């Protein structure tokens, strides 16, 4: 999952774990591209350039992978970011900030599609008005090679609460 990986990491590792204790086996920030043939082993500077096709992601490994936990994780993902702003999260802009969900199998893909469709229906019906626009821009892709970010980027907001 992606949304400027530092915020995502904090929300998933801290807040999702509170709601669903022991649900996350591991979570690391890094980069993933929807293109399986993308540049190998990109660095942070290359990803930030916007030309690699990579997005900043939080790679989540569930402790007990099941459909219910995954669905709750996807729903939670939409609770802390605006999935209607294309390539933007807050003040951060660029293709590396695209709202993305990478799935590892058909079941996860179908769950993510269902949640996205339900959320779009709620936005269209006016049941949700807190997003910037009326159209979701979240993309869905098969998971490809994950490249872990450097150690100083892991748990960044825990180490740097002001985000700087």
What is the count of structural domains for the chain? 1
25 assigned to some structural domain = yes
50 assigned to some structural domain = yes
- Do 99 and 83 touch, CB atoms closer than 8 A? yes
Q: What is the pLDDT of residues 114-163, one digit of tens each?
A: 999 999 999 999 999 999 999 999 999 999 999 999 877 777 666 766 66
Neighbours of 100 (CB within 10 A): 21
- Rounded to whole angstroms, the Cα distance separating 129 from 151 reads 38
Q: Range of 77's domain? A: 5-159
Q: What is the pLDDT of residues 61-109, one digit of tens each?
A: 999 889 999 999 999 999 988 999 998 877 788 899 899 999 999 999 9
Q: Is the overall model pTM greater than 0.75, yes or no?
A: yes
CATH number at residue 88: 3.30.1060.10
C-alpha triplet 110, 116, 120: angle, nearest 5°: 145
**Residue entry with tokens 């695209």:** 98
164 assigned to some structural domain = no
- Rounded to whole angstroms, the Cα distance separating 28 from 60 reads 7
Neighbours of 111 (CB within 10 A): 21
């Amino acid at each position: 999952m992606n949304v400027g990986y530092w915020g995502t990491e904090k929300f998933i590792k801290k807040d999702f774990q509170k709601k669903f204790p022991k649900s996350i086996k591991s979570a690391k920030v890094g980069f993933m591209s929807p293109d399986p043939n993308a540049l190998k082993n990109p660095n942070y500077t290359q990803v930030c350039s916007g030309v690699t096709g990579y997005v900043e992601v939080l790679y989540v490994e569930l402790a007990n992978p099941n459909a219910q936990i995954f669905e709750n994780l996807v729903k939670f993902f939409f609770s802390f970011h605006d999935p209607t702003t294309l390539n933007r999260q807050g003040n951060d802009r660029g293709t590396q900030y695209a709202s993305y969900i990478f799935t590892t199998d058909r079941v996860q893909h179908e769950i993510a599609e269902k949640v996205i469709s339900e959320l779009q229906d709620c936005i269209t019906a006016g049941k949700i008005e807190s997003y910037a626009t009326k159209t979701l821009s979240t993309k869905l892709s098969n998971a490809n090679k994950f490249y872990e970010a450097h150690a100083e980027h892991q748990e960044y907001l825990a180490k740097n609460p002001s985000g700087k």
